Structure 1
Amino acid sequence: MFFQNWEGIARTVTVGILAYVTLILFLRISGKRTLAKLNAFDLVVTVALGSTLSAILLQESVALAEGMVALGLLILMQFLVTYVSVRRAGFAKLVRSEPALLARDGAFCDATMRRERITRDEALSAIRASGGRGIEDVSSLILESDGTLSAVFGRAA
């Protein structure tokens, strides 16, 4: 339970170092956008990379070469999806969500909040976390593409 053998520990250390170096190399080659969490799709890829790295480290049934291919495949697919998204608006709409206006000029947009499944309490919590006191302080409250809530304060003239 606590210790099986030194061979398993040596494998974890060796494979861990090699997999880590491979991941860093792939991420440097693919660019900053690969780990940007600009939308839900990006977050899923980031989590999948972490899960894949974990599987490479801890599952003896996953060979290092297979794990490296899996990491490379995830990064390549992320690159291709973002590459096509930048060039084709229709494809971009398919893979990412648009921001949603949840409140404007001190009033909630109830229909949008219902559609996005955001409660008033969650919205008010985001407003307070951004430095506001309540909905009356908000010029706009936006549910961003990555799932975060952004509060804009001050009324437009």
Structure 2
Amino acid sequence: MKELLFKNWESLWHVAVCTLLAYFVLFLFIRISGKRTLAKLTAFDFVVSVTLGSTLSSMMLGKVTLAEGAVALVVIIGLQYALAWMARESKPLEKVINSSPTMVFYRGDFLEDAMKKEVLTHEEIYAEIRKFRMLDVDQVEAVVMELNGELTVIKKSPGSAHTSLKALDSEGS
């Protein structure tokens, strides 16, 4: 029972040093890997974040050596880059890696099938419209659930020939 709370000073020192070094190794790798690692999370990004956190934890607690942890971090970030590049180059692979945005409200109508698919309520959509400081729902052209699960409210604009909604149909893709 005694070792449950305190083992020895050497193990505490070991965890402190490993945590310090692992923290800076991860910080360095995230700075190298760029903004995508820190962006709002898609499912793909979430997996990367969880694996980075798990690896960092193992490094901090000395379950793996710092060199082994650093290799794991490089592999994880390398996979993220490789899959992001492949998704950019291949539309079918992009659909596998990144889900598609879904229109859930269009020109005054709730798209019930899309809402059911995304497990959204009318109140959640109204809340998002209020978040955009819009009182009149008739001012809303569309509400779209984005790749990362965030809702985007698009205000009506007179005569827009080029619209960000072109890729989405009014049936909620």
TM bin (shorter chain): 0.7 to 0.9
Q: 1:113 deviation in Å?
A: 0.8
2:88 corresponds in structure 1 to 86
Q: Which amino acid aligns with 1:110?
A: E
- Length-normalised TM-score, structure 1: 0.86
| SS in structure 2 of the partner of residue 62 of structure 1 | coil
Q: How many residues align?
A: 156
Q: 1:134 deviation in Å?
A: 6.4
How do 1:141-156 residues align onto structure 2 when only pairs under 5 Å count?
Answer: 141-154=143-156, 156=158
* Match for residue 124 of structure 1 among 104, 126, 139: 126
1:12 aligns with 2:15: yes
Query: Are the structure 2 counterparts of residues 108 and 135 from structure 1 closer, same or farther at C-alpha, using a change threshold of 3 Å?
Result: farther
Query: Does the Cα contact within 8 Å between 1:102 and 1:142 map onto a contact in 2?
Result: yes
| SS in structure 2 of the partner of residue 151 of structure 1 | strand
Q: Which runs of 5+ in 2 are unaligned?
A: 160-173
- Length-normalised TM-score, structure 2: 0.79
| SS in structure 1 of the partner of residue 144 of structure 2 | strand
Q: Which amino acid aligns with 2:25?
A: T
Provide the C-alpha distance between the structure 2 equivalents of 1:103 and 1:128, rounded to a whole number of angstroms: 14
| SS in structure 2 of the partner of residue 84 of structure 1 | helix
Q: 1:137 deviation in Å?
A: 4.2
1:43 corresponds in structure 2 to 46
1:24 aligns with 2:3: no
Q: 1:155 deviation in Å?
A: 5.2
Query: Does the Cα contact within 8 Å between 1:49 and 1:71 map onto a contact in 2?
Result: yes
1:99 aligns with 2:101: yes
Provide the C-alpha distance between the structure 2 equivalents of 1:8 and 1:136, rounded to a whole number of angstroms: 63
Provide the C-alpha distance between the structure 2 equivalents of 1:155 and 1:105, rounded to a whole number of angstroms: 12
Structure 1 stretch displaced more, 141-150 or 65-74:
65-74
Provide the C-alpha distance between the structure 2 equivalents of 1:44 and 1:103, rounded to a whole number of angstroms: 29
Q: 1:2 deviation in Å?
A: 4.0
Q: 1:52 deviation in Å?
A: 2.1
How do 1:50-65 residues align onto structure 2 when only pairs under 5 Å count?
Answer: 50-58=53-61, 60-65=62-67
Percent of aligned pairs sharing the same letter = 38
Q: 1:135 deviation in Å?
A: 4.1
* Match for residue 108 of structure 1 among 98, 107, 110: 110
Provide the C-alpha distance between the structure 2 equivalents of 1:40 and 1:156, rounded to a whole number of angstroms: 35
* Match for residue 34 of structure 1 among 29, 33, 37: 37
